[in-house]
Amino acid sequence: MISKLIRKNILDLHPYSSARDEFQGQKALFLDANESPYGSYNRYPDPYQTTLRTKLAAIKKIPAHQIFIGNGSDEVIDLLLRIFCEPQKDRILICPPTYGMYEVAANIHNINTLKVPLRSDFQLDLQAVLKTIHTHDPKVIFLCSPNNPTGNALKEIEPIVKAAKGIVCLDEAYIDFSEQASFLSKLDTYPNLVISQTLSKARGLAGLRIGLAFASPYLISIFNRVKPPYNVSSLNQKEALKALQHPARFKRNLNQIKKNRTELLSTLQGLPLVEKVYPTDANFILIKVKNALALYTYLVNKRVIVRNRSQLVKNTLRISVGRAAENQKLIQELKNYEKTTVN
């Protein structure tokens, strides 16, 4: 019973009922929300983003009532904690090195974070995760596949979803770049599964802050009870909808990024200063070098900004795949750096 996992105050909640909740309809004289009668953005947005959600339902082949739209994925993460985790009591489980927001969000809510590190090949330590599920009963398990910052898709997700007594949130922010299939097709098999995706990466809409959660209709209804009433602005809904009308452009850009990734991977592999190029299913590449901080600082001075991930994986930099010319500039600077350090 999923409802047993939900915090009592959330189950008991009388959600805020907005003016747009109480009356829905298109053409009418609206004097119910204290809006100004003037201006082009004078009306509150659709609280449930119906048009955008319907479009996403068609693209993802998931019914609209199994989709929640958040103000970025960060809102999805935050809502999961609000719904399921009692501060100072419940626990989440993460598998580091991974996306930093899960633990930050847990800290904000004063929720403990259990950590089961990935193995040295950055795959899940399945036995250790299963053991921690049995001994510590985490309320929410966050899995990220393809994983940030390592880049690889995770292999043994399903046994964890099966064994979990709580919710498993599978973060598929980078799934479009991966050969591995999305877990969306398994949504109806596992009532405890929440899949999070985003329009920020492959869809190129990071500025619009559109995060998605896919789950059972029941869980989506709980998300809707807890979310801020107007969490996605009308401008953002409109622009996202507009961008989604161009599937050919999306495919072209996605293929270009994948092609650039292949080229960047092979060039990086040929550079003596790069000790290791980790395999990637995402739009970024993690590399290991002798002195990541020195290289990072050198690149910053050349106005090439990458991400130093050394605190997560020793002496590593995470490089987003850019346009061909941007990647060439990066490679040129890496070659220049090689010359300076050899002499």
Ligand X SMILES: *Cc1c(COP(=O)(O)O)cnc(C)c1O
Residues that bind ligand X (CB under 6 A): 72-74, 99, 144, 148, 171, 173, 198, 200-201, 206, 211
CB of 217 to ligand X, least distance (A): 22
39-42 contact pairs (CB < 8 A, 24+): 41/234, 41/235
CB of 240 to ligand X, least distance (A): 12
Instruction: Please say which residue, 91 or 201, places its beta carbon nearer to ligand X.
Output: 201
Give yes or no for a contact between 288 and 255, defined as CB atoms under 8 angstroms apart: no
Pairing relation of β-strands 67-71 and 210-214?
antiparallel
Instruction: Please say which residue, 143 or 330, places its beta carbon nearer to ligand X.
Output: 143
Give yes or no for a contact between 173 and 342, defined as CB atoms under 8 angstroms apart: no
- Residue nearest to ligand X according to CB distances in the complex: 72
Give yes or no for a contact between 76 and 83, defined as CB atoms under 8 angstroms apart: no
CB of 30 to ligand X, least distance (A): 31
Instruction: Please say which residue, 115 or 134, places its beta carbon nearer to ligand X.
Output: 115
CA pair distance 265, 262, nearest whole angstrom? 5
What are the residues facing 169 on neighbouring strands? 142, 194
Of 276, 271, 287, the closest CA to residue 320 belongs to 287
Instruction: Please say which residue, 105 or 129, places its beta carbon nearer to ligand X.
Output: 105
Of 163, 153, 141, the closest CA to residue 95 belongs to 141
Give yes or no for a contact between 2 and 192, defined as CB atoms under 8 angstroms apart: yes
Instruction: Please say which residue, 78 or 90, places its beta carbon nearer to ligand X.
Output: 78
CA pair distance 165, 139, nearest whole angstrom? 8
Would you call 243 helix, strand, or coil by DSSP? Answer: helix
CB of 72 to ligand X, least distance (A): 3
CB of 211 to ligand X, least distance (A): 4
CB of 323 to ligand X, least distance (A): 19
Instruction: Please say which residue, 161 or 199, places its beta carbon nearer to ligand X.
Output: 199
CB of 206 to ligand X, least distance (A): 6
Give yes or no for a contact between 307 and 149, defined as CB atoms under 8 angstroms apart: yes
Instruction: Please say which residue, 284 or 337, places its beta carbon nearer to ligand X.
Output: 284
